[in-house]
Chains A and B, each alone.
Chain A
Amino acid sequence: MYRRIRGEEIALIFQDPMTRLNPLMRIQDHFLEEIHAHESVSSTEARTRAREALVSMGIHETRIRNYPHEFSGGMRQRIMIALALVLKPSLLIADEPTTSLDVIVEAQILEILQDLKEAYHMSLLLITHNLGIVAEVCDRVAVLYAGKLVELGSVRDIFHKPLHPYTQGLLASVIHLETKELHSIEGSPPDLIAPPSGCRFHPRCSYAQPICTERIPPLVEFEPGHFAACHFGDKFL
C-alpha cells in the first residue's frame, strides 16, 4: 500500500545528494530500478523516460551511463530531482535540498523547484531552516518548535505579522545583507524527553506569563488562514 504512494504520489529528495545515490550503480540503473518497482513497462520505455527526465534537468542524456562520482554536487541534486519526477508525483517533499550546496548552485536549484511547481502542477513541501529561502520560494509557512506547530499562515502573514514569539525571534535572528544588529533567542531548544509544561517555548519567551507554564496553547485562527499557538497571539495582531 505504502509502496503505491511512495514515489508515485509523493516523492522525497534529501539534504545530501553526495550520499543518496548508490556509488556502484550507473545513473540509468537508479532510474530503471525505480520505474520497474512501480510500473510494468519495458526497459526501453523506462530508459526513454529516464532520459527525458534527465534532459529536463539540463543533463546530457549520454551521461545516463555515468556513475554518481562523475557528477558535481549540483548535478547530483538535479539527478535526485529527476529521479523524483520520473514517476510524476503530485507532491514533492524536499528536505533541506540545498543545505550542502554552494550559494550560487543553491539559487539554481531553487529556481528549478519553482519552475516545477508551475510546469508540473506539483505541490512542494520544502523543509528548511533558512528563512531567506522560505521568503523566496514558499506560498505558505508552518513554523515548528520542539515538535509542535506554533504558527501557520501565508508567507506574507508570517514575515510581516508574526504572531508567535518564537517566529518573531526566528525572524529577528536571520543574518542578511541589511542586518544592522544581531539578535538571538536566549537559551537552547528543550529536551524532548521531558518537554517543558504548557507552552514548550515558555522558558525562552520574554512575554511568558503564569498561564504559559500551565496550559498548552491551542492552535487558534487569529485571522483568516493565519493560525498561531500562543495564549497572547491577539496582542501581536
Chain B
Amino acid sequence: MVKAEPTDEILRLDDLKVHFPVKMPFVQRLLQRGETVVHAVDGVSFGIRPGEILGLVGESGCGKSTVGRACVRLVKPTAGRIFFDGQDITKLGGEKLRALRRRIQIIFQDPHASLNPAMTIGKAIGHPLRIHSSVFGPQKTGSEEFGEWIRQKVLNAMKEVGLTPEEQLYDKYPGDLSGGQKQRAVMARALILEPNLLVVDEGVSMLDMSVRAKVLELMLDLKRRHKLTYLFITHDLATAKFICDKIAIMYLGRIVEIGPAREIYADPKHPYTKALLQVIPIPDPDRRAKKVLPRGEVPDAVHPPAGCRFHPRCPAVLASCGWEARDFVDFLDEHLSDPKRAGDDETILGPIEDWRAKGLVASLETNPLKVRKAVERASAVLVEAPVAMKQAVESVSSQNRTVIVRFRSHHQLLQSNVQGRVVECLLYQ
C-alpha cells in the first residue's frame, strides 16, 4: 500500500473500513457460517491538507457518504483509523467527541430536511453556540448578555454567507425561505462554530443550476478567507472539477484513483474514472459522440466482486482482473435470455437457477446422460464470452453428473503511483 507521510494533514484516513450488518432472521443467521455485512467502505486511505478541497466522487452506493459520516464520527468505523489534526479520533467518545464536533461540521444534501421547521432561522443558526456554550461561554448561559452575544454572532454568520437582509430573515421560519437561502442558513449554522473542516455531502445537488453556482462561489470564498478545508462529496464530476484541488474516485467502497484534480481531469487513468468523465454531457449539439458505456449497474456491496471490483463492467478488463464463477453464471444468464443466440441451450444448460457459483468454480448438476453434451455446450457458449473472461477460464470439465467451469485465480490488486496520482488497477501495475 502506498502511504503518504502524515505531515501537515488536517484529516487522515488510514485503511478505513465501515461494514454494516445485514438484518436477517435468526434461523438463517444460525445456518449461515460467517457474518453477512454490507462492505460500505472497505479500506479507504487519504489525507487532506489545511485549506484544501478534496472531492470524493462516485455513484450512489459506493460508500462516499459513509466516509463523510465516519469523519464526523456519525458512524462507527469497523476497522482502520481516523486522524484529525494529528490526533487519533477513531475511538473518541463523550466530552472529547463533542469538542471535536465543534471543529468538524457536516452539511447534508437536503436543506429542507436539515432545518427544524418549528425553529426560526436565527435560533437554528445560533443553536450550536448554545450546545457548545462551555467552549465559548465568557458569559453565563441564559443571561441577557449571552443571548445578545449569540444574536450578534448569528447576524455576522448570516452576513458572511450572504443570507441578507439578516435582521429581517432572523425571525423567519425555514418555510419562508427558498432552497438556496435554506442552504445558506445551513452553511451559516455549520460555520458559526468556526470549524476547521467542513464535510459537504452532496450539498449542492438539490439546488437549481443558478443557485448552485452561487453556493459554490460562497464555498470558494470561505476557503480563501478562512482557510477552511472541505471534504466535498458528490456524484457530479463537473461540479467537482470546478472547486476541488484533489479528487478521489470511489467505486464500491474502494478508492480507485486519487490525485490532483487537474491531472485526473486532463488524463484519467482508471477505466472507471474514464467512464465517469465520458458520460458527462457536453452542452453542444455538434459534439454528440457514441459512448463506450460500462455494462450493467453497480453490484451489491454485500458480496463485492473478487479482484478489482469494477472488473465485471470494465471496458478494459484483463484476464487477471478477478473473474470468478458468478461472472460466468451472469454471462450464461444473459446468453440464455436472448432466444436468438440461445437456441436450445436452455434445455441443456438451464435453468440458470440450478447453477452453483462458489469462488472460482461454477457447477451444474445434471442428468448423467446430458453431462457430456452440457460440457460441450458450455465451452461453445464461452466462445462468445468477452475475451478476458474466456482467457480466465482454466477448464470446462465434468465429474460424474456435474459440469464444472473453473477459473484461474486472479492477480493481487495493488495501488500504483502513476503520473502524480495513485491508481488501483492492474493496467498500471
Task: Give the interface of A toward B (CB within 8 A).
Answer: 55, 59-62, 72-75, 102-108, 111, 129-136, 138, 155-156, 159, 169-171, 173-179, 182-185, 188
Chain A residues positioned under 8 Å from B277 (CB to CB): 177
The answer, yes or no, to whether B337 is at the interface (CB within 8 Å) is yes
CB atoms of A185 and B210 under 8 A apart: yes
State whether A159 and B284 are in contact (beta carbons under 8 Å apart), knowing that A102-B235, A103-B279, A107-B279 are contacts in the complex. Answer: yes
Most buried by A among B59, B213, B214, B277: B213
Closest-CB distance, A204 to chain B (whole angstroms) = 9
Closest A residue to B178 by beta carbon equals A188
Interface of chain B residues 220 through 276 with chain A (CB within 8 A): 235-239, 241-242, 265, 275-276
The answer, yes or no, to whether B283 is at the interface (CB within 8 Å) is yes
A55, A62, A75, A171: which contacts B283 (Cβ < 8 A)? A171
Chain B residues positioned under 8 Å from A134 (CB to CB): 283
CB atoms of A135 and B282 under 8 A apart: yes
A106, A174, A178: which contacts B279 (Cβ < 8 A)? A106
Closest-CB distance, B215 to chain A (whole angstroms) = 10
CB atoms of B294 and A184 under 8 A apart: no
Chain A residues positioned under 8 Å from B178 (CB to CB): 188
Most buried by A among B210, B217, B280: B210
Given contacts A103-B236, A171-B283, 16 further A-B contacts (CB under 8 A): A55-B337, A102-B297, A103-B276, A104-B275, A107-B291, A133-B281, A134-B283, A135-B285, A136-B288, A169-B210, A177-B265, A179-B242, A182-B216, A183-B210, A184-B212, A184-B213
State whether A176 and B279 are in contact (beta carbons under 8 Å apart), knowing that A60-B337, A184-B210, A184-B211 are contacts in the complex. Answer: no
The answer, yes or no, to whether B97 is at the interface (CB within 8 Å) is no
The answer, yes or no, to whether B343 is at the interface (CB within 8 Å) is no
State whether A103 and B235 are in contact (beta carbons under 8 Å apart), knowing that A72-B297, A176-B280, A188-B180 are contacts in the complex. Answer: yes
CB atoms of B210 and A173 under 8 A apart: yes
- The 4 A-B pairs of least Cβ separation, nearest first, read A132-B281, A60-B337, A184-B210, A182-B213
Q: B54-67: contact bitstring with A at CB < 8 Å (1 yes, 0 no)? A: 00000110000000
Chain A residues positioned under 8 Å from B279 (CB to CB): 103-104, 106-107
Most buried by A among B180, B237, B297: B297
CA distance A179 to B293 in the complex (A): 24
Closest-CB distance, B228 to chain A (whole angstroms) = 18
Chain B residues positioned under 8 Å from A111 (CB to CB): 291, 293
The answer, yes or no, to whether B298 is at the interface (CB within 8 Å) is yes
CB atoms of B280 and A174 under 8 A apart: no
Closest-CB distance, A184 to chain B (whole angstroms) = 4
A74, A102, A176: which contacts B281 (Cβ < 8 A)? A176
Chain B residues positioned under 8 Å from A185 (CB to CB): 210
Closest-CB distance, B252 to chain A (whole angstroms) = 13
State whether A61 and B281 are in contact (beta carbons under 8 Å apart), knowing that A103-B276, A176-B238 are contacts in the complex. Answer: no
